[in-house]
Structure 1
Amino acid sequence: MIKFSGEERIKDEKGGEISTIQDFWSWAYSNLTSNTQRGTYAEYLVSIALDAKAPTKTDWGPYDVLSSEGIRVEVKSSAYLQAWKQDNISKIVFGINQSHKYDYNSSAYNYDAELVRQADVYVFCVETCQNRNELNERDLSQWDFYVISSAQINKKLGAHKTVTLSKLVKIGAMKTSFSNLKQAVTEAYGG
């Protein structure tokens, strides 16, 4: 997979330069309040904190991030504020579905295998700001990270498909900052 720098030029059919990859990124991914972009951004933040092995994001993988120590991590994100108009802040809820293993190389799911949580550890990322005028997704002091092993989720929640933030805390998810995220993931993996 090619990792672009952003300086690469987009050319029209006659070879004329019309834009850059950076311009595309800015156009497509600037709204970090959007659920889709926030999720990808959260994966990026976790990959930085964990010194991830992959140089780029892999879509449709069995987990989101592979740490430098080989820990498979699933990243989930949620926020009180959304991209759309809200009358009230959102409740923090995360999807924790089990899944069939997906083989990225053959582009196929193994439907014969049992449903499982394929990561070793989950990181739940919460954009905590509740005032739209103060919202700044780039300010990591506005983020909380909750870490728990898949084994704990399996033991405490079984086949549940979603979990609230309060339930995560109740079953032992460790709240941490971005700066301490790598240590928290290592501890959750070892425990």
Structure 2
Amino acid sequence: MAPDSSNPVIRLTGKEPFSHEDVQLGRTVDDFWSWSSSDLLSNALRGMLAEYIVGVALGCIDHRIRLEWDAFDLKTDDGTTIEVKSTAYLQSWGVTKPSSRRFSIGETTAWHADTNTYDTTAMRQADVYVFCVHTADDRAVADPLRLEQWEFYVVATATINRRLGNQRSIALSILPQALGVSPVGFDGIAEAVRLEAAQSGR
């Protein structure tokens, strides 16, 4: 079940204390985040980290929070909606197999956080997809916070629809040729999104 949009989540600072019967325990949300979210190579965190990186590049996450169940991952100030997907050469327990480096691109029936309603037709919800690849394959130097270790493939949803139809996933190995796209670095994301969004009429 989707969350209730009438009860918005307040963005935390990390300094909020844990307490028991009005007595603070000397632990904060920062401590929880550090405990739960320090393994940035984990599959569970990588997707959220990729969304954050793309959001930073697009300047569209300040003073906002991630909406886990929303129809798309990010929305720029000009209204362009973004779906972010990620994969990596490494994960917490070892190197990923080339065959597992895939992105989900299936159509969905969207829930909209702002209206707390569902669509009735399955489709790809965002204007633009950003496929994020953490390319480091040596654990000794792998650091997802070093953004030069990432590549980003930015593709208009219209292109995916035209070239891939209702295909549900695509392998990294064939993505450039199948979608006619080349990777950009972190500093190229915003311009690539702008160009691809133009194909969606944005």
**TM-score between both structures, scaled by the size of structure 1:** 0.91
What residue ranges of structure 2 are gaps of 5+ in the alignment?
1-8
Alpha-carbon separation, structure 1, partners of 2:39 and 2:180: 32
2:70 to 49, 61, 72: 61
Q: Percent identity?
A: 36
Shift of 1:85: 3.8
Aligned structure 1 segments of 4 or more residues deviating by more than 6 angstroms: none
Please give the root-mean-square deviation of Cα atoms over the aligned residues, in Å.
Answer: 1.9
CA shift, 1:45, in A, is 0.6
Paired with 1:64 and 1:156, the residues of 2 have a C-alpha distance of 23
1:147 and 2:154 aligned: yes
Paired position in structure 2 for 1:160: 167
- 1:164 to partner: Cα distance: 1.2
Provide the residue aligned with 1:71 in structure 2: 80
Q: 1:34 deviation in Å? A: 0.8
SS of match in other structure, 1:133: coil
- 1:7, 1:88 → 2: CA distance? 40
Q: Which residues in structure 2 correspond to 1:91-106 (within 5 Å)? A: 91-104=100-113
Kept after mapping to 2: 8 A contact 1:76/1:95: yes
1:109-144 deviations in Å (ceiling 9; x for gaps): 44xx22100000000000000111111111111000
Q: Encode CA deviations 1:27-66: one digit per residue, 9 max, x unaligned.
A: 1111111111010000001111111156111110000000
TM-score of the aligned structures, taking structure 2 as reference length: 0.86
Q: Is the 8 A contact 2:88 2:96 kept in 1?
A: no
Tell me the SS of whatever aligns to 1:70: coil
How far did 1:94 drift? Answer: 0.5
Select 2:50's aligned residue among 42, 50, 64: 42
The equivalent residue for 2:19 is 11
Of the three residues 77, 86, 91, the one matched with 1:82 is 91
Q: Is the 8 A contact 1:62 1:102 kept in 2?
A: yes
What is the aligned partner in structure 2 of residue 120 from structure 1? Answer: 127
Measured in 2, the distance between the counterparts of 1:142 and 1:95 equals 22
- Provide the rounded CA distance (Å) in 2 between the counterparts of 1:124 and 1:146: 5
What count of residue pairs does the alignment treat as equivalent? 189
Question: AA paired with 1:59?
Answer: E
